[in-house]
């Protein structure tokens, strides 16, 4: 129930061994989540706002070395929410 109380889940895992520090994931992210220092082949991309991810996978799809894996959090893969709780309160 208390989804927000949990630690922020990082959906975008980058393998530092295979990442070529190319900036493409930063450029393509539609949500401005991924920050990669320009013109620096030493630094890895940083997932600065992980809780704002759409889980679209554009970063994964464009990564030239398949260094990105999208990991879904527990509340997405094993969801326990009562759907009726999303359907409004009856106020008459």
Least distance from C-beta 6 to other proteins, angstroms?
10
- In SS3 terms, 1-68 reads as CCHHHCCCCCCEEECCCCCCCCCHHHHHCCCCCEECCCCCCCCCCEECCHHHCCCCCHHHHHCCCCCE
Determine if 55 is a binding residue for other proteins (CB under 8 A): yes
Query: Segment contacting other proteins (CB under 8 A): 14-22, 29-37, 39-47?
Result: 29-37
> Taking CB under 8 A as the rule, does residue 5 contact other proteins?
no
SS3 at position 75: helix
Say whether residue 46 binds other proteins (CB under 8 A): no
Q: Which residues bind other proteins (CB under 8 A)?
A: 3-4, 26-32, 48-49, 51-58, 60-61, 70-73, 75-79, 81, 83-84, 86-92
């Amino acid at each position: 129930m208390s989804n927000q109380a949990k630690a922020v889940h990082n959906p975008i895992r980058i393998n530092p061994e295979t990442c070529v520090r190319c900036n493409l994931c930063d450029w393509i992210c539609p949500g401005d989540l991924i920050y990669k220092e320009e013109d620096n082949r030493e630094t890895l991309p940083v997932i600065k706002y992980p809780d704002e991810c759409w889980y679209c996978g554009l970063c994964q799809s464009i990564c030239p070395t398949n260094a990105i894996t999208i990991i879904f959090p527990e509340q997405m893969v094993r969801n326990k929410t009562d759907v009726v709780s999303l359907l409004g309160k009856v106020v008459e």
